[in-house]
Structure 1
């Protein structure tokens, strides 16, 4: 059976490439669009539970806009869900030049209304948010979202090499189930955000990550920085000898935790043992 989270079909509409595979009232090629607010909750149904979040500038394909709700699929990871229609920007299909050119590489920043730190901010931007740069001066990059401090942005083609170092920028961020921003993030959001800034594709949820990421190592393999440890419903970065970095409900934050102690704590709390130890090619 197809995974609902990754299948752009809801009974009323389905992606054109699913014709003959799913039932729908009509099939659509969809339209490319981008996310307008700082962060948008991607819901399992219209007005339903948050499953993931999309950041400003993220690209989606919108398949339906009904009663103020857009049915979309994220281009970054294929995740499907519902957003309020006012969170989706205009069609990009005929304007490829409108695609983002840079992304935020600091924990967070602001887009200002003027190239002046004393001017009003137009938008808050999280690590990983994407913007289109149209000009620059000594201090600010001019973007279609506002004026952003130049040192807070990097071109999309410039990628990090250490995903743990990227994840460390979010230390102390509050835990938020389904969160993907520096205002709130969960375990799989922390893994995905770090890998995307390293130029690596990454699914959105920990079970999908466990199935897709890296090479499985024997249980007695010594963990090293950049490895991933998985449990049922949880994932953590190995940050160093006997050290984990993860967004977790125990600390309710992104936090370091001694590895051996964390493994014992998680199992004692009823969440079972480590189910997979993975090593990524870039680490």
Structure 2
């Protein structure tokens, strides 16, 4: 077993080589490589223990990260100048090593990132729902974990990990492992999680959910009673759990 890190902006974590995507990893995520074959590597992510296959060219030697991206997304520029060519885009949650600071930019191996888009790696945010709100309008993507596309469990995980709260990658595991189950009829409050079979949503506030869903095909607000009725009528069943963190 060897430790490596993700060196592409977003790497699909597949169920098997050339198989379906289960989740995604971001630039700077560290993984343990347990098997390599024909240009593919089986890895386990340090951040949540999720395992799968990625192409081996998306892996590189570990480099100590110093900062993480806290803007929904950012660009790395060729120079510390917003008019210089942008080399690559990074999502919220990506981890980078800062080599120097120049003119309000952070120099990294990828280029120069605006300093306002990153914080020290020790920084933890305080409200996972506010983190999730950063992703409003992000397109729905099955197994997605980035600003460029995510799913319901990816949205929940992004909010919790940013606040230093451990969180598995799949909604079924999230339902089993996160928070305290509340009795039916308990009034939901901000920060609660509502679960259905195969789906999870943040309670944003009074009668309002914030979730990534395939009906709207993006991250959106939806009234709680409307979502419960819609999901039931489309054949996906009732709420299976109401959890409080």
**Both structures adopt the same fold (TM-score exceeding 0.5):** yes
CA apart distance, 1:156: 1.7
Output the CA distance in 2 between the equivalents of 1:264 and 1:81.
35
Q: How does 1:111-260 map to 2 (within 5 A)?
A: 111-260=76-225
Paired with 2:86 and 2:2, the residues of 1 have a C-alpha distance of 30
1:132·1:145 contact (CA, 8 Å) conserved in 2? Answer: no
The answer as to 2:6 corresponding to 1:41 is no
Give TM-score scaled by structure 2 length: 0.98
Partner SS state of residue 60, structure 2: coil
C-alpha separation in 1, matches of 2:31 and 2:88: 20
Contact kept in structure 1, 2:80 and 2:103, CA below 8 Å: no
**1:82 matches 2:53:** yes
Runs (4+) off by over 4 Å: none
Cα distance in 1 for partners of 2:176, 2:74 equals 33
- Tell me which of the two structures has the higher relative contact order, counting C-alpha pairs closer than 8 angstroms and 6 or more residues apart: 2
Report the structure, 1 or 2, having the larger strand content. 2
TM-score by length of 1: 0.85
Selected match of 2:25 from 54, 67, 80: 54
Bigger shift: 139-148 or 189-198? 139-148
SS, match of residue 99 in structure 2: strand
| Distance in 2 of aligned mates of 1:131 and 1:146 | 11
The offset of 1:112, in angstroms, is 1.3
Aligned to 1:64: 35
> 1: CA distance between counterparts of 2:107 and 2:219?
32
Note the residue ranges of structure 2 that are not aligned, 5 or more in a row.
none
Partner SS, residue 234 of structure 2: helix
Larger Rg: 1
